[in-house]
Structure 1
Amino acid sequence: MKIGMIGLDTSHAPAFTELLNDPGHQYHVPGGKVIAAFPGGSPDFELSYSRVDTYANQLREHYGVTIVDSPEAVAKQCDAILLESVDGRVHVEQFKRIAPYCKPTFIDKPFAVSSADAEMILREAEKYRVPVMSCSALRYAEGFRGALDDEESGPVIGVDAYGPMELQPTQPGLFWYGIHTVEMLFAALGRGCRHVRAEANDDFDVVVGVWSDGRLGTVRGNRQGNRTFGALLHRNERTHFVDVYADEKPYYASLLEHIMTMFKTGEAPIHPEETLEIVRFIEAANESRNSGKTVRL
């Protein structure tokens, strides 16, 4: 399968390309190869424009990827697309340019930085019947998936997820790094969050989501102290500590395996409505962290 990439301003671009294009890699993901890429880059986002040239050169020189001048040029010559642009603001415009080519597409996190943009992407996907998938790689960390699959202690009754939560002005509030822990929340609890409340200061955020069945999920974001991700997964009979670093297999590789399955089958493993609810959850959390009030989704 010929795979195209849009957006070479994130470390995910060389990471995914290495896993796909290097058959000697310990965690090589077979079935496709990145052959073409559009660099992209956002001129008002330093973490975007400062990395584009380095990653573009790396893909061209190390993996033989052809660098092209537009998203359309990628879509024309590929069977599936990895939309990797680190700036969630540009995803809707980039996706609208490639949707008419009807190629299955993975959109890296954040899917969008507003529910209006998220809805627009999903409308375009439905219009052109494009299979779309979006998530954080932490959703597929082996330690986390193992804890979710272990149902001997009963159903999940709550989740407390934590991780680093740096802020970036161009990616409002939790959209930049908080999305990782929010993804873990939804992977465990599913859809159905009704309202959220957030407390935030310069160093920490805590967000509490209340689901329609009464379950609670919390997200703790740290800008001081350790930079590790993890969770407490509460079941009826025990609480499971989730160590996302317990397995040697990188979660990028586990995510990429699910992406490749979606590319081949045309069936996304995450319902679009869940992706939309995650965006709305983050919007509501951002609103609450500014107002101090409970916000309904």
Structure 2
Amino acid sequence: MTLIEIGMIGLDTSHCTAFARLLNDPADEFHVPGGRVTVAYPGGSTDFELSRSRVAGITAELKEHYGVRIVSSPEAVAEQSDAILLTAVDGRLHPELFRRIAPYKKPVFIDKPFAVSFRDAREMVRIAERHGIPLMSASALRYAEPLAEALESVKEPYGCDCFGPMALEPTQPGLFWYGIHGVEMMYAALGAGCVRVRVVSHPRQDVVVGEWEDGRIGTYRGNREGNSAFGALIHGKMGSVFADVTRSRKPYYAALLEQVMAMFRSGTPPLNVGETLEIIRFIEAANESRTTGKAVELDLTRREGG
């Protein structure tokens, strides 16, 4: 099997070193074979402390420990790789970074959040379609083993209740920063088709309720109390199954990378990009509801035509 040379864009998140270790180190217990991170562009956001403060250290680690070439532009990464991990932690930058590498027509995984507005997300999907680019974006929590096992045992869930930490970051509005993990778990269980969302918001926590067009209901409780556990209760006709996601033995990133590598090899994304678009609109609507306290319609048909 030919080794896929993988480029990385945006060295400002712990995901970068986790991905490099799992891909580049065959001795790692959860090594994901088939590809290797070979080239990277550091990037970073000067107005985002969690980005700015990480770039130098992560760049040095990738270069010194994993032999990754550091280049001066996203275009150089695209030129020198077979596939791309767009890992930049700042979702505001994703549209422009993706526009710059799209002409190279390489398969791209974009780390969460795909974008921080539905308008940007829709334009990115249109660019991918225009260039014929296999495109995927997901939270690693979507593929966590305990969640996958629970969903295997509940074939047709009518609802789910998810929970996790929900820190807030001003540059990534509302649920786009950490709430997206819980929303992705909800969508892993219920799929696309949500029509409206309502949020009860308090400085200590948020409770998000999504209503699906066929009557299914999903909830996400995001806390700012210090509880870092992730989990989900999946409800089906024959009973309810709890997924203790935090206790997953396999790292979330390994389960995610297995899906990403399958796309890099086949050119077929494991997740329909239409669902990714809906997730971005769901979060956008949830953020509006956090402010107003009112239910907000996703109204996807009208928005996709805009």
TM-score by length of 2: 0.95
Aligned to 2:303: none
Cα distance change of structure 1 residues 78 and 225 upon mapping to structure 2, 3 Å threshold: closer
Q: Is 1:116 aligned to 2:127, yes or no? A: no
Name 1:194's counterpart in structure 2: 195
Q: Which amino acid aligns with 2:254?
A: A
Deviation at 1:238, TM superposition (A): 0.8
Residue 282 of structure 1: how far off its partner (Å): 0.2
2:291 paired residue number: 290
> Which residues of 2 match residues 64-75 of structure 1 at below 5 A?
64-75=67-78
* Partner of residue 238, structure 2: 237
**AA partner of residue 123 (structure 2):** M
User: What is the alpha-carbon distance in structure 1 between the residues aligned to residue 80 and residue 200 of structure 2?
Assistant: 47
* Equivalent residue, structure 1, for 2:53: 50
* Coordinate RMSD, CA, aligned: 0.7
The 1-side partners of 2:120 and 2:297 are apart by 19
Percent identity between matched residues is 62
Which one-letter code corresponds to 1:70 in the other structure? S
User: Is 1:164 the equivalent of 2:162?
Assistant: no
Structure 2 letter corresponding to 1:25: D
The letter of the residue matching 1:18 is R
For 1:10 and 1:226, the matched residues in 2 are separated by 21
| DSSP-derived class of the 1:156 partner | coil
Counterpart for residue 142 of structure 1: 145
Measure the CA separation in 2 of the matches of 1:72 and 1:202: 42
Show structure 1 runs of 4+ deviating over 2 A: none
How many aligned positions are there?
Answer: 295
Which has the larger displacement, 71-80 or 222-231? 222-231
- 1:225 positional shift: 4.1
Write the letter of the residue equivalent to 2:167.
E
Q: Shift of the alpha carbon at 1:247?
A: 3.2
Aligned-partner residue type, residue 47 of structure 1:
L
Q: Trace 1:28-107 onto structure 2 (pairs within 5 A).
A: 28-107=31-110
Match of 2:20 in 1: 17
Letter of the 2:214 partner, please give it.
Answer: D
- CA spacing shift, 1:33–1:146, aligned 2, 3 Å: same
For 1:228, the equivalent position in structure 2 comes to 229
User: Which deviations, in whole Å up to 9, do the C-alpha atoms of 1:72-97 show, x marking residues without a partner?
Assistant: 00000100000000000000000000
Counterpart CA distance in 2 for 1:166 and 1:245 is 17
Q: TM-score, normalised by structure 1?
A: 0.98
Task: Name structure 1 gaps, 5 residues minimum.
Answer: none
Structure 2 distance, partners of 1:96, 1:39, is 17
Q: Secondary structure at the match of 2:287?
A: helix
The whole-number CA distance in structure 1 between the counterparts of 2:177 and 2:131 is 29
Give distance in 2, aligned partners of 1:256 and 1:71.
21
Q: CA deviation at 1:246?
A: 3.3
Question: How is 1:243-282 mapped onto 2 (pairs within 5 angstroms)?
Answer: 243-282=244-283
Q: What is aligned with 1:211?
A: 212
Which position in structure 1 is the counterpart of 2:301?
A: none
The 3 A distance-change label for structure 1 pair 229 and 43 is same
Paired AA for residue 244 in structure 2: D
| Alpha-carbon distance, 1:269 to partner | 0.8
